[in-house]
Each structure stands twice: as structure tokens, then as C-alpha cells.
Structure 1
């Protein structure tokens, strides 16, 4: 049987730029992008064309920011996708390579962020599990100083993006991927957890962090979109949503204490 032809739509670099402008992206802005390449259709040039298209819409004065998280640099006792045998845990902790912003690939955030991470001139923040990469004139300002004991809080790129008036673009991604909501978790009563990871000098370290979870973010996003201005559009076959980081954080700060049950925190009391 011959391989069936792709159904499209056919998406090009220039088409992405034009459709992003039509969806509200303005030249010169700072844009935090959460994305799904497969949602776009058949992209001529793949993830590289998508990044070129976004940069084209932003222009030379704009800055592109993406999450480049590395959740696999964590305690194997907590792994589930897939789990590993208990007798492996201590060996994994002793031998896991430490985070290196130049070498460690992102995981679980898609091929577009990984493409940005490897782009010439890209800068990446220092947190070993929740880093961000950025391209553009504000890249250093956004990525520098990411505290290694502050995943997504006041000493992370998220807080800088909020202060800079950055916008979030959900490009075929849902609100469950919206990292801006996590900044609100740091500003509402949240439990602390012990987080294990490979230490920079070798071996294993444990740091105390704010507990974070994206559970409930889809419902939070639904209510946010109902109550606050969100610009909706289309790029290829993907739906887009565009809104300020500050709006998302402010709304989540009020929403989370009212809607997130205490039992949920109990489930995430250890990460």
C-alpha cells in the first residue's frame, strides 16, 4: 500500500509570520511561546521554519522566549513515564550528568523549544529543571539570574517577563502548558517540597522548593479566557491564543485559592 499523502494544510515560514501578525503578534514585543508543531499541519521546513516564522513576525527588536525544561533531571523514585526498577535508583542518582545549559536537551516541551535552544545566539537560563531559552535583544535580561532554587517564581524568567510586559502565545498548545500560571503558585499559600537532582559538582543534591502542579490549569484557562481579553487566531491548522503574562498571573493569583482543593496539594506534597 502506498503511503497516503499528507492532508495539510501546507504551512510555510512566510505564511506563519503573516498569520501571527493577523493573530495579534506585533513587531518588537517579547513573546513567550508554548507550542505544538504537529497541530500546525504540514510545515515546509518543520520546526526551523516555525522559528523563522515567529522571528519574522517579531522583527529584529522582538524577543522570542520558550520553556526548555528538563524534568528528567530528577529523582528516579518519582519517575512514571517510564518508571525504573528500585535497584537502579542509587546508581542513577550517583551517575546522572548534571545540567549544562549548552548541552542538556529539553524534554517534554516539544521540538520547537529544542530548536530555539540550539539556535545561534540563543541564551538559556540556569535552573537545572525549569530553564527558558531566548533569542533577541532582551534575551540576556530575561535569562540571567535564574536562581537554582526557584523553578518558576520571583527569581525566574517568568517574573522578568511579567515586568517587561511580555505576552504569551499558545500556538496549538492548551492552557495546561501555560507556565505563567505557575508564577501565581509562588504568590499564593503553597506547600514546600524537597526536590532531588544531580549536583553541579557531581553526586546528588536536594533543594527545598515551592510545590507546583499544572493540575486544574485547563479549567483555570477556560475561566481566564471567559473573563479577560484573549486574542484568538489561527496559524495553519492550529488555534492560537495571545494575552499578557501579567494578566494571566494576576487572574491565577485570585483563582487558585478559590478553586484548588487542599487535597490536591496533599497529592503533590513531595516531588
Structure 2
């Protein structure tokens, strides 16, 4: 491919793009990102995080999902590529979640780097953790209850309390975990709980712990996002090859609550 048909993305391009979206000092932002969507980023995940932190400033916070959903019971399909006769072996031997060590599962290179960033904080949920860097990182990530993955006192619920923002870098609304908060709040007939299990450390010992939580999925999140953009302003810019969206979290959550209650059976 000829070089004139390609574009190199520098940190200044990211900063200029984020500022064009309306990112300002002191904002609390959850970011979902696909590094590959940007094209060639000179410096990779590191400069994406640096640009975000510089734009948010010392009073801002950057949060990302650092989920480890492979640490769920194999019967849920998370180990679909492995034979069923291995399921009990996995239950007995999967490493206990350690927020300082356990890598993310398919959360992307940027989220994987953020969890190890200096002064980063990561929540204790063994399958659905979040990591954050900045002024409110401790507040956002502490006391992430097993039974409350995405509810009102979860990291995304606390971001709602802080009147935070959502940024989607090269990904769609199906990756927008804030809509799960709407799912947790909304009332609809098919809403139900399920039992999850994960490997955890309990009193210094590895245990396979079962807990009850809301059954969630994102099958209609793209539909919610499409309809949301018909009624609400969403700032959109192109950085490199990626489409980047920026919105107030309360706007998308409040809209999604009404949408879910109207459309889900």
C-alpha cells in the first residue's frame, strides 16, 4: 500500500480530536476503544491513554472496562472452544482473580494497559471489573459488589452520580457498558437474575464462588444507540480511521431506561 493512502496518528491528533469532541479538564469519562480502528498509532495504547489523561487533567478521571469474563462458569459458554468434559477441571483450576495481575479478556490493548498504569485503581469484581486513573479512581472502583455488576452502586453507577461522559473510539453502542446501568434500573417483563460462578480468593484461599446477579446482554444496544442519536446530540469526529463518539452518560442512560421499558417484552 502506498504511504499516501495511509495516515499516521500522533498524540497531538488524538488530543485535537478529543478537544473537538468537547473533552475538557475535570471530566469523568468511561472510554471504550479499539486501538486497531485508529490505524497506525505512533506509540500505540500508551499515547491514547496519555492523550486522554492530558485532556481530562488532574481533576478528571479516565475509566475503562477490564472485564475477565473467562472467569465465569464454563456452562455459560465462556469456554465454548473447549470440550464439555473439561468444564469441571476448569472450575477446579482456573486462577483466582487478582486485580493486580489478572489480564483482561478481549477488552483491547488500551484497557489492558490502563489497568497497570501508575496509580490505577481496579475494582474487585472477579469477572466484570473496571479500572480507572485520576481524581475519582478510588471512588469509582471501590466496593464493586459481586451481585451488582452494572447497577446503581457499581463503577458505572458511580460515574452516573458524578455526571460523567462516555467515549466510544472505533466501537459501537454494543460496547457501551453504561447501557447496562439502564438495564439494571429499567422494569420490563423478561428481566431476571441468574447465578454466576468465579474463582476468587476468600480468606486467603482460592474458592469457586457462586453468586446471584442480573442477567444481562447487549443484543439491542445498537438499536438503542441508533434511536438515541435521532433525538440527542452526540459529538462525532474522525481520528485516524476511527469514528469517535462522545456523549453525556446521563443522557444515554436515561434514554435507554425509557427505550428498554417500551421495547423489551
Normalised by the length of structure 1, the TM-score is 0.91
Determine whether 1:154 maps to 2:152: yes
1: CA distance, partners of 2:100 / 2:222: 32
Q: Which among 76, 79, 86 is matched to residue 78 of structure 1?
A: 76
What is the aligned residue count?
259
Q: Which among 216, 221, 234 is matched to residue 220 of structure 2?
A: 216
RMSD after superposition: 1.6
Q: Which among 89, 92, 96 is matched to residue 90 of structure 2?
A: 92
Alignment of 1:18-37 (within 5 A): 18-37=16-35
Query: In the alignment, which residue of structure 1 is the partner of 2:195?
Result: 194
Shift of 1:22: 1.1
Alignment of 1:84-163 (within 5 A): 84-163=82-161
Q: Deviations over 1:26-77 (max 9, x none)?
A: 1221111011101111100111111111112212222111110111001112
Shift of 1:159: 0.8
Unaligned runs of 5+ in 1: 262-271
Alignment check: 8 A CA contact 1:95 1:203 kept? no
Alignment of 1:158-177 (within 5 A): 158-177=156-175
Alignment check: 8 A CA contact 2:197 2:211 kept? yes
Q: Matched residue of 2:148: which SS?
A: coil
Alignment check: 8 A CA contact 2:74 2:80 kept? no
Query: In the alignment, which residue of structure 1 is the partner of 2:239?
Result: 235
2: CA distance, partners of 1:257 / 1:18: 38
Q: Which among 40, 51, 54 is matched to residue 53 of structure 1?
A: 51
Normalised by the length of structure 2, the TM-score is 0.93
Structure 1 consecutive aligned stretches of length 4 or more whose deviation exceeds 4 Å: 3-7
Shift of 1:82: 3.9
2: CA distance, partners of 1:6 / 1:120: 37
Q: Deviations over 1:156-201 (max 9, x none)?
A: 1111100101100111110000001001111123201111211323
2: CA distance, partners of 1:80 / 1:100: 19
Shift of 1:5: 5.9
Q: Deviations over 1:94-141 (max 9, x none)?
A: 111111110011112111101111111110011111111111111111
Alignment check: 8 A CA contact 2:63 2:132 kept? yes
Query: In the alignment, which residue of structure 2 is the partner of 1:268?
Result: none
2: CA distance, partners of 1:71 / 1:7: 38
2: CA distance, partners of 1:6 / 1:52: 27
Query: In the alignment, which residue of structure 2 is the partner of 1:244?
Result: 248
Query: In the alignment, which residue of structure 2 is the partner of 1:265?
Result: none
Q: Which among 257, 260, 263 is matched to residue 259 of structure 1?
A: 263
